[in-house]
Structure 1
Amino acid sequence: MGFATYADVLRIPIVRRILILGLVVRVPLWASEMAITLHVVTHLHGSYADAGLVAAVGGLALGISGPWRGRRLDQLGVRRAIAPSIIVLAATWSIAPWVGYWPLLVLNGLAGLFTVPAFSIIRTVLISAVREDQRATTLSIDSIATEITFMVGPVLGVLAATTLPTPLALFICAMTQLTGSMLIWWVNPPLRSEGSAPAERTNRLRLTWPILAVFAMSIAAIIILTGEDMSVVAAMRGWGRPEAIGWVLGLWGAGSAVGGLVYGGLRRRPSAATLLLLLGLSTALIAVADQQWSYIVLLTVSGAFCAPAMTAMTHALSQLVPSANRGEAMGWHGSAMMLGSAVGSPLIGVALDRGGWTAGVLLAGGVGTVIAVVGVIATARAAVPEDAEPELVSA
């Protein structure tokens, strides 16, 4: 393993800056999701279904706007692309915490359409800032950082919403996220390697079969993660241990972080399709657990493939698209993951209702396994695009 590569990557100033910016933006993002749920349920006296509808509208808006906002990044660069979003979001979240349910629903949808594509920006900058042979390591660091923010953000969101009035908590979370977006505008990180510049007439991304296969694998991966997430709740409740849900999910996340760390240090890395196949099979294998301890062990082992699989898909996508279309590609990638979440939640929910947690992991693992096999076939002859950066192709 080449863990020295981590030190080499972290010596690059723009990599350090964008990773820190990623923490600043993502922590309040996850915190806001918890704050808005508690705001709807407590302050607005709505149901969890009402809160779910708010989240669904926001997620649908994000999925719709992802490719469009990514394309604007490719055409205009960071500052010109996100300046209108910052203005709209500042106005939207200055009003949304203080209004009733239906206006909040509409404003949350509007915010979703104009959300600053922080994930696309961060990954595009990281990909362009390093050599091709350093991409997987760099993306692994970002994946680990995302795992950390996913564990910290919801806790802070709950803390804010339970110690402060929920309108104020939601306002603080949203404005903190907006502050992170403003820092991205101020830093204005380069989206392409040195010597390249944004082009006003960038051609649209051509969605080839290998690219579509990566999107399909991303959808499958999110369905698997949704299945594992929901199965933890069902399994622990079934064993009469609902208080264990938090630390079991923490072990799962820790397994994912360790897996991402190992993957980034490998000199020879499995393909995205292979990792998805391992993730799918290991998820289905959880169904053989007959006790709580064996369930937790198998879940943690499966978690070790989560971050590597997601990192490998982003890496594969970066190799399949021209540098001029990376923003749009990352936008489509984000929309694919949103679709996976939207499809996965009800699908896994039905499986859990009918067959318990074992049915949930079997369905999630089965979907991942089938799509992984298709991904192996579709990406087997994938080629580097002709207009990829020469220095990266030869690396």
Structure 2
Amino acid sequence: MSFAAYRSVLSRPRARQVLLLGLLLRIPIFGTGVLLMLHVVNQLGRSWGEAGLVSAVATIAIAVSGPWRGRLLDKHGLRKVVAPSLVITGSAWAVAPFVGYWPLLVLAGVAGLFVVPIFSVARQGIIAAVPIHERRTALSVDGVAVELAYMSGPAVAVWAGTQWGTAPTLFVVQMLAVLGGGVLWLLDPPLREEGSADDAVALPRASWFRPRFVVLCLAAAASTLVLVGSEVSVVAALQGWGQYALLGLVFAGWGLGSIVGGLTYGALSRGFSPFLLLAGLAVVTMPMALAGSAYTFAALAFVAGLLCAPTITASVEAVSRVVPTAARGEAMGWHGSCMTAGSAAAAPVAGFVIDHGGYQPAILVVSVAGLAVALAGGASALFARRRRLALAA
């Protein structure tokens, strides 16, 4: 294990550029969800259910946009995809914070459909900016950037919203996102490696959308099912114990563990199968069901967090290897949408189990589901490898 690889990655100007832009553009995305719900409840005087509907519409729209916008990136390049995003999302969010509930619902959906595809752009840009032997390290740095954005976005947005009101905060956050998107458009980082063999080839989806890719997307969905499902369970437990104020401590432990795990994984001389890491994530999450206080949760969350970023990094790296460069944008879009779908499914699944059995079985249910997907995916990968070897012989 050597951390010198990080020095090499960060010495590359294009890699630094994409990593920084990726961090800055993700903060508004993570911050907007909770801020939007607070705006609906506090500013518009609606219920939490109605607030959840707005958040769900925006989330579904972003998930739908992933593969579609990714395919456009493959076909037309960054500038032709980002430019309409800036115009449409900028116009939508310039109005949305100052209108009623139903117009807000529509505008949030439209903005979600045309959001700057930063997850796909950042990962493609990072892959293109470094040689293949540094890919895992670079993607690990990006995973840490995602974790930092996930931790800071909601906290900053909620603080600003309580200080200056949710409407002006929503407006400012989204205008900063448009500004960041404008910088991305101006810099136009390459999304493909120089001299890529399939650089100008339009590939039919059937040529790469195959079982190997599908199981990787399922593993990505299962990873967020485990993560978000256990998060929801922790929130329910702390609320029941009257320790809700310590939720930040637990999430800090989780985030710190993920950062440590991500940086360690990127420094390793070799990577691991995403299915093996997903199985490990599911197994180390299970003991959280034994927690009896927020402090125990924080310690166990740190341990579980150690495999969060590595699991996601390994799945992104695997997708980049099994999908041709010319289709990577759409593939990353599908991968991101599956992660979003896993997150979206986690809340109702965990919520149903919590209502009928409590937080402990909820953690076990999402963990077992993740473990089942990992075992099935690992078995399918092993079968496919043996089949290729048999055909080669």
Structure 1 length as normaliser, TM-score?
0.93
Q: State the Cα distance separating 1:232 from its structure 2 match.
A: 1.7
Matched, 1:152 2:142: no
Q: State the Cα distance separating 1:38 from its structure 2 match.
A: 1.4
What one-letter code is carried by the residue in structure 1 that aligns with 2:106?
V
- Matched residues in 2 for 1:109 and 1:135: separation? 34
User: Which residues in structure 2 correspond to 1:1-395 (within 5 Å)?
Assistant: 1-196=1-196, 199=200, 201-204=202-205, 206-290=208-292, 292-380=294-382
Larger mean Cα displacement after TM superposition, 265-274 or 366-375: 265-274
Could you give the per-residue CA deviations for residues 272-296 of structure 1, whole angstroms, max 9, x where no partner exists?
0000000011112322345554443
- Matched residues in 2 for 1:312 and 1:241: separation? 35
What one-letter code is carried by the residue in structure 2 that aligns with 1:256?
S
Change (3 A) 1:80 1:281: same
Larger mean Cα displacement after TM superposition, 188-197 or 220-229: 188-197
1:28–1:174 contact (8 Å) kept in structure 2: yes
Q: State the Cα distance separating 1:268 from its structure 2 match.
A: 2.4
Larger mean Cα displacement after TM superposition, 82-91 or 230-239: 230-239
2:144–2:309 contact (8 Å) kept in structure 1: yes
- Matched residues in 1 for 2:159 and 2:117: separation? 26
Runs of 4+ aligned residues of structure 1 deviating over 6 Å after TM superposition are none
Change (3 A) 1:291 1:160: closer
1:124–1:191 contact (8 Å) kept in structure 2: yes
**Structure 1 residue ranges without an equivalent (≥5):** 384-395
- Matched residues in 2 for 1:379 and 1:191: separation? 28
2:388 alignment counterpart: none
2:68–2:330 contact (8 Å) kept in structure 1: yes
**Structure 2 residue ranges without an equivalent (≥5):** 386-393
Query: In structure 2, the residue corresponding to 1:235 is in which secondary structure?
Result: helix
Could you give the per-residue CA deviations for residues 283-320 of structure 1, whole angstroms, max 9, x where no partner exists?
12322345554443222211111111011100111111
2:136–2:317 contact (8 Å) kept in structure 1: yes
Change (3 A) 1:123 1:101: same
What one-letter code is carried by the residue in structure 1 that aligns with 2:158?
V
1:35–1:160 contact (8 Å) kept in structure 2: no
Q: State the Cα distance separating 1:201 from its structure 2 match.
A: 3.6
What one-letter code is carried by the residue in structure 2 that aligns with 1:379?
A
- Matched residues in 2 for 1:8 and 1:178: separation? 31
What one-letter code is carried by the residue in structure 1 that aligns with 2:321?
Q
- Matched residues in 1 for 2:329 and 2:60: separation? 19
- Matched residues in 1 for 2:199 and 2:98: separation? 39
- Matched residues in 2 for 1:236 and 1:299: separation? 14
Query: In structure 2, the residue corresponding to 1:380 is in which secondary structure?
Result: helix
- Matched residues in 1 for 2:203 and 2:185: separation? 22
Larger mean Cα displacement after TM superposition, 127-136 or 251-260: 127-136
1:76–1:198 contact (8 Å) kept in structure 2: no
Q: State the Cα distance separating 1:132 from its structure 2 match.
A: 1.7
Change (3 A) 1:16 1:381: farther
- Matched residues in 1 for 2:185 and 2:295: separation? 47
Larger mean Cα displacement after TM superposition, 315-324 or 233-242: 233-242
1:283–1:364 contact (8 Å) kept in structure 2: no
- Matched residues in 2 for 1:361 and 1:329: separation? 30
Q: State the Cα distance separating 1:240 from its structure 2 match.
A: 2.9
1:74–1:199 contact (8 Å) kept in structure 2: no
What one-letter code is carried by the residue in structure 2 that aligns with 1:21?
L
Q: State the Cα distance separating 1:200 from its structure 2 match.
A: 7.5
C-alpha RMSD over aligned residues:
1.6
- Matched residues in 2 for 1:225 and 1:331: separation? 20
Change (3 A) 1:163 1:194: same
Q: State the Cα distance separating 1:203 from its structure 2 match.
A: 3.0
- Matched residues in 2 for 1:159 and 1:291: separation? 26
- Matched residues in 2 for 1:166 and 1:291: separation? 32
- Matched residues in 2 for 1:363 and 1:46: separation? 32
Change (3 A) 1:31 1:291: closer
1:77–1:198 contact (8 Å) kept in structure 2: no
- Matched residues in 2 for 1:294 and 1:106: separation? 42
Q: State the Cα distance separating 1:198 from its structure 2 match.
A: 5.6
Larger mean Cα displacement after TM superposition, 304-313 or 278-287: 278-287
- Matched residues in 1 for 2:126 and 2:297: separation? 36
- Matched-pair identity in %: 43
Alignment size in residue pairs = 383
Change (3 A) 1:90 1:291: closer
Query: In structure 2, the residue corresponding to 1:2 is in which secondary structure?
Result: coil
